[in-house]
Amino acid sequence: MMMAWEIPVLDISLVAADDLQDFQYFFVKVNSDGEVELAGDGEAALGVLQNKPGEATGAGGEAASIRIYGVSKVVAAEAIDPGEEVASDADGKAKVAGSGDRVLGVALTAAANEDEIISIALYHGPELA
């Protein structure tokens, strides 16, 4: 099995709405306050959280680094094969994109089980019919 790897192209920093220290490599979105929170099931996401905001204080308000373009590691919600398009599940993990999901990237490495870290090429694709 190939190890997950990354190629950072564009990372940005925004304020984390909550303590997200346990959610490194999860999909995140921007809320109505302009802060970062976990993406939900099939939602459009800004990108993948790269750091652990909340680690210093145990609260929101820390800087969140988000990869919005490039290759990123992401936590899988299920078994995923290379080449499959991925979307966010209800917890911000990568799942195989299905009907009504916003495509967020394509898997470059495989996950045999939930909670494995894989590599994806990030892109902001269409909603699947």
3-state helix, strand, coil in the chain (%, to 5): 0, 40, 60
* Mean pLDDT to the nearest integer, 3-22: 96
Mean pLDDT of 19-28: 98
| Amino acid code (one letter) for 80 | I
**Segment among 36-40, 77-81, 100-104, 123-127 with least mean pLDDT:** 123-127
* Distant-in-sequence, close-in-space partners of 13: CB < 8 Å, separation ≥ 6: 63, 64, 65, 66
pTM: 0.96
Residue 2 has pLDDT above 90, yes or no: no
**Percent of the chain predicted with pLDDT > 90:** 93
| pLDDT for residue 1 | 62
What pLDDT shows up at residue 39? 98
- Check pLDDT > 70 for residue 129: no
**Structure token digits, residue 6:** 């990354």
pLDDT at 18: 97
Give residue 75's pLDDT. Answer: 98
Q: How far apart are CA 81 and CA 112, in angstroms?
A: 8
